[in-house]
Amino acid sequence: FFSETVTDSLRALLLEWAGYKVQVFEFIGGEHTSKNVMITAVKDKPSAMSTDGKAEIQSRIHALAGMYGIRRHKLAELMGFEMHPWLAVDGKPAVRDARYMPPI
């Protein structure tokens, strides 16, 4: 149950980062099924999100992924979102930037 919540949170944040207005809600009672979350997304106007707003969402995605050890996410890959900017492509550590580190 918990992993589904983290995954749904990442999906919603990635969609927000891409410029969508996102809503996440329960559409079937938990007593019927554990997979009862619906994510809706509507593309917003291109200029609707500030650069700071996009950077904040990016930081939240990196923190959440780092906190739970998530190295890959298919939606992030499809969107061209870099999940771990502190890792080089070959997997060797690159120069770390504190902005991308999860909170302690």
**What angle, rounded to 10 degrees, do the helices at 51-67 and 2-17 form?**
160
pTM confidence score: 0.74
DSSP H helices in the chain: 2-17, 51-67, 74-79
Structure confidence at residue 95 (pLDDT): 45
Give the angle 91-102-16 at the CA atoms, nearest 5°: 95
Residues 11, 14, 18, 21, Cα dihedral to 10°:
60
Q: Tell me the Ramachandran region of residue 26: left when phi exceeds 0, alpha when psi lies from -120 to 50, beta otherwise.
A: beta
CB 10 within 8 A of CB 66: no
- φ, ψ dihedrals at 3, nearest 5°: -65, -35
pLDDT in tens, the chain (104 residues): 578 889 999 999 999 999 999 999 887 766 766 677 889 999 988 767 788 888 899 999 998 988 888 888 999 999 999 887 655 445 444 444 555 555 54
* Residue given tokens 């509507």 in the structure block: 42
